[in-house]
Amino acid sequence: MDQLVLVALERIGADLSRRGELEQERALLKTRLALLQRQGSGMSAVLGAEPLSGLVDVARLHAQMIKNDAEMARLGLATEAIDRRLNIIADVLNSPADHLHVLKRELRLDRMNVIAENGYAREGTTIELRLASVPETAGAMRAFALVKFARSNLLPAPCTVDEERKFLI
């Protein structure tokens, strides 16, 4: 469960950083556009500079701004951030098989707890492990085992009241 939430948080972080990049890019495009428009009405127009190249640059900047706006719209409004983040978490939790793969592996251990080659050992024990693989963690695998204990076999919970009394006296 923790790993799935981490995957969702990673996606949320990627969206946040992408939004920041797009906002910076938009500010730069606006500044460049303003500079190009000022240049067209300044001294370059008096000196006879080519207005055609300026128009091409302005058109290119407008196209980049439209592309930037479309990607910002895909990320949604900043006021809808909580809903969008909850949807990302819900999408990841609804499809755990896309983000977490569990494999079964059996190992044969000899009396010294050394893995027997090819699973062969005269006297030994076979243990079964589950290996969890998370594609987002670049090949990292974690071994785990599902175990069950009877409540009677567990140690009693420590009584914190008795421990605290030691410090009060």
4: closest CA among 96, 102, 87?
Answer: 96
* Residues 12 and 61 reside in one and the same domain: yes
Q: How many structural domains is the chain composed of?
A: 2
Classify residue 163: in a domain, yes or no: no
Residue 143: enclosing H or E segment and its boundaries? strand 141-144
* Residues with Cβ within 8 Å of residue 95, at least 6 apart in sequence: none
* Residues 79 and 27 reside in one and the same domain: yes
Residue 130: other Cβ atoms inside 10 A: 13
* Residues 54 and 120 reside in one and the same domain: no
Q: Which range marks the domain in which residue 22 is found?
A: 2-94
Classify residue 162: in a domain, yes or no: no
Sequential pLDDT tens for the chain (169 residues): 777 888 888 888 888 888 888 888 888 888 888 887 776 555 555 555 555 566 777 788 888 888 888 888 887 777 777 888 888 889 988 988 887 788 898 888 888 888 887 656 577 888 888 888 776 666 677 888 778 889 888 888 777 777 777 777 6
* Residues 16 and 47 reside in one and the same domain: yes
Classify residue 112: in a domain, yes or no: yes
Classify residue 168: in a domain, yes or no: no
Residue type, 10: E
Classify residue 169: in a domain, yes or no: no
Classify residue 39: in a domain, yes or no: yes
* Residues 135 and 61 reside in one and the same domain: no
* Residues 138 and 78 reside in one and the same domain: no
Distance CA 88, CA 81 (A): 11
Residue 105: other Cβ atoms inside 10 A: 11
* Residues 64 and 8 reside in one and the same domain: yes
* Residues with Cβ within 8 Å of residue 7, at least 6 apart in sequence: 92, 99, 134, 136
Classify residue 166: in a domain, yes or no: no
Classify residue 37: in a domain, yes or no: yes
* Residues 71 and 118 reside in one and the same domain: no
* Residues 37 and 86 reside in one and the same domain: yes
Give Cα 33 distance to the centre of its chain. Answer: 35
* Residues 106 and 67 reside in one and the same domain: no
* Residues 45 and 108 reside in one and the same domain: no
Whole-model pTM over 0.75: no
* Residues 59 and 113 reside in one and the same domain: no
